Amino acid sequence: MPDALSGLLPEELTEILAPLPGFRSGQISGWIAKGVKSFDEMANLPLSLRAELARRFTLRPQIKEKKVLKGKDGTVKIALQFADDSIAEAVLLTAPLKDAVTYTLCLSVQAGCPIGCVFCKTGSLGFRRNLAPAEIVEQFLQLREFLENKTVKPNIVIMGMGEPLLNLNHLRRAIDIFCSKKHFNYSPRRITVSTCGIAAGIKDLADNFPPVNLAVSLTTADEELRQKLMPLPKNNSLALLKESLLYFQKKGRGRITLEAVLLGGINTREKDALCMVKFSEGLDAVINLIPWNPVKGLNFQGKALCPPLINEVKSFTEKLKSQGLNVTCRFRRGRSISGACGQLGG
């Protein structure tokens, strides 16, 4: 029996609900997508069926405790404590435009993280477990309740706690649920998966997933420095990462975002710029620079990490642009509630 029906695709619901007619699974999928919290809310199901479903199944994962933090910039961060006390944080980001507002839901795929990047709060927590598909979907449902404009469809980014490509099966199922026409009916192009650079996982993403967007936390293209900052598992060298990204694009998967968390005095050298230029050769990529968001207690080589100076960021940006790279700098949102990049887990 599944942990929760919200983690199943319509065809899986049809199978588990047999001998009920197939259209019932479509109805239940639709209610899950609307965010109902009990079978009693499924108004087009007979009362007797609602009671039977409640007796046999769990609709959504059990949440022992939910904590909510709201920032002045419109950011909302939630921490969900599941039945086994594992905690996942997720963030709603709001970006006001000239005549509208866009929303982005940042979801987690693991409780903690096994990578241990030195500049990331989540990495300092260690790894507890992979999240189930229903637990990934649950973050979406919980955050969506905070949208001020309910008619706007938020973007989805898998950039929260954990390394998505080390939880491939559950990630694939969650994305399939988001894209299912009977569930949330998302275009894959509205979904972005972020990875620290798991080469085999990127190829799997190209071969076996819908055409979602890909972002790679590169941070630096200096191999020695990258291994110190981001102690990835073996077989994830920069050469293998580059090979997997070329494969991803050969499969027609579109532009890649290469993300670089800028650490004051560490990865903003002339050498880092030149290495990034060389790594980008042959790729259709945009470089997204992210000035480090402060986290207390994080150190590198015996010294406390610090954000880069404004002139440091400007100089590094100009070095990349002078070589013809497409460069953007991420606007910092959510810092006041520890909801910005690298701050989850606080």
341 a catalytic residue:
yes
Contact (CB, 8 A) for 342 and 293: yes
Distances in whole angstroms, Cα of residue 278 to Cα of each of 57, 73, 275: 54, 37, 5
DSSP class per residue in 156-225: EEE-SSS-GGGSHHHHHHHHHHHH-TTTT---GGGEEEEES--HHHHHHHHHHS-S-EEEEE-S-S-HHH
Q: In the 8-state DSSP scheme, what is residue 153?
A: P
Nearest by Cα to 12 from 31, 35, 28: 28
Active-site residue among 89, 135, 163, 259?
89
CA–CA distance, 19 with 212 (Å, rounded to integer): 35
89 a catalytic residue:
yes
3-state secondary structure of 29: helix
Composition of the chain by helix, strand, coil, percent to 5: 35, 20, 40
Q: What are phi and psi of 242, to 5 degrees?
A: -60, -45
The two structure tokens encoding residue 95: 């970006």
Active-site residue among 106, 113, 179, 341?
341
Q: How many CB atoms neighbour CB 252 within 10 A?
A: 8
CA–CA distance, 219 with 294 (Å, rounded to integer): 16
CA–CA distance, 138 with 112 (Å, rounded to integer): 17
CA–CA distance, 344 with 264 (Å, rounded to integer): 20
Nearest by Cα to 197 from 220, 176, 172, 178: 220
What element of type H or E holds 50?
helix 47-56
CA–CA distance, 146 with 128 (Å, rounded to integer): 28
- Is residue 19 reached through a cis peptide bond, with omega within 30 degrees of 0 on the bond before it? yes
Active site residues: 89, 341
